[in-house]
Amino acid sequence: MLLDSIRTQLDSLSKSERKVALAVLAAPSATVSQNITALARAAQVSEPTVVRFCRTLGYDGWHEFKLKLAQGLALALPGASEAPDQDDLASDLINKICSRSINTLLDLRNNLKPELIQQALEVLARANKIEFYGHGTSGFVAADAQHKFFRSGVPTVAYTDPAIHSIAAALLRQGDAVVAISQRGNNPALTRSAKLAKAGGADVIVLAPSGTPLAEMATLFIPIDLVFATDPYTPISARLAYLVVIDVLAVGLALRRGPEFRKKMQNAQKALQEFDMQFDSFIG
């Protein structure tokens, strides 16, 4: 995910920082094995420029950046970067697609900032109501979020229609919260609704790539930087990352509600069992 984050932010970097980014992307393994002086020389920039590049990406400096890069490369499974091919056997497809999904989740675990998740939980815990906005594939993530969050006892709804979430966003006020979800972060309608919600005083949590128009509308931004290529199967693994972040937030919010709320969920489970229905619990 770190390399994906660099790719998504290339256009927003300064000219000298972009040189550092391209040098890292060209030889990530070599970057891990060399010192800051060698990277600066390879990128034809100064060492302070390398440090600025690391801080622009959200790291304290060179050593933290290098550590995260090394962790990402060490965890990566073979075959994850290979696109499915017409002549692939079933075993090839299993390896490529499973490895890609596993790598995506390992990258997420390695790069998702706990402090941002903690801040998001604080916002959601005090919200009077929570609205989830998303389009296309992200709309399915929004619907999944609504399904999980309504069991936390907070009024929740998911909107995937641009006209509807535009009206809903304009009616929000202080104390309400929006979670805007986008795998690309450049949808004009979604960005407009986030802006309307923010203008009304609502908290706007954004799950999207860094350096995107939607990210700029956030009161709290949780970056999910994944590379997008022409491979039509890329969004499958990308969606997993967003669903896992939603799970983390949903479980975190449920646990914050305390033992009384947990008892209510257990009572709901018993009620469903009377109808021979399985309750999809996420807090055992």
| pLDDT digits 0-9 by tens, 31-87 | 998 899 999 999 999 999 999 999 988 888 999 999 888 887 776 665 555 667 778
Residue 208 falls inside a structural domain: yes
Region 118-141: mean pLDDT is 95
Same domain, 70 and 145: no
Cα distance between residue 47 and residue 20, in whole Å: 10
HEC per residue, 121-167: HHHHHCCCCEEEEECHHHHHHHHHHHHHHHHHCCCEEEECCHHHHHH
> Is residue 46 a part of any domain in this protein?
yes
Q: Note the pTM of the prediction, 2 decimals.
A: 0.73
Contact 172, 197 (CB under 8 A): yes
What is Dmax (Cα atoms) for the chain?
Answer: 70
Give me the number of domains the chain comprises. 2
Tokens read off for 221: 């931004």
Residue 142 lies in a domain: yes
Same domain, 138 and 64: no
Does 86 reside within a domain? no
Q: How far is CA 148 from CA 170, 202, 212, 241, 271, in A?
A: 25, 21, 27, 16, 18
154 and 71 in one domain?
Answer: no
CA–CA separation, 171 and 202 (whole Å): 10
CATH no. for residue 247?
3.40.50.10490
Q: Are residues 44 and 123 in the same domain?
A: no
Over residues 212-230, the pLDDT tens digits come to 999 999 999 999 987 654 4
pLDDT in tens, 148-191: 998 777 899 999 999 999 999 999 999 999 999 999 899 999 99
User: Which tens digits make up the pLDDT trace of 91-123?
Assistant: 888 888 888 888 888 888 888 889 999 999 999
Residue 21, domain extent? 2-75
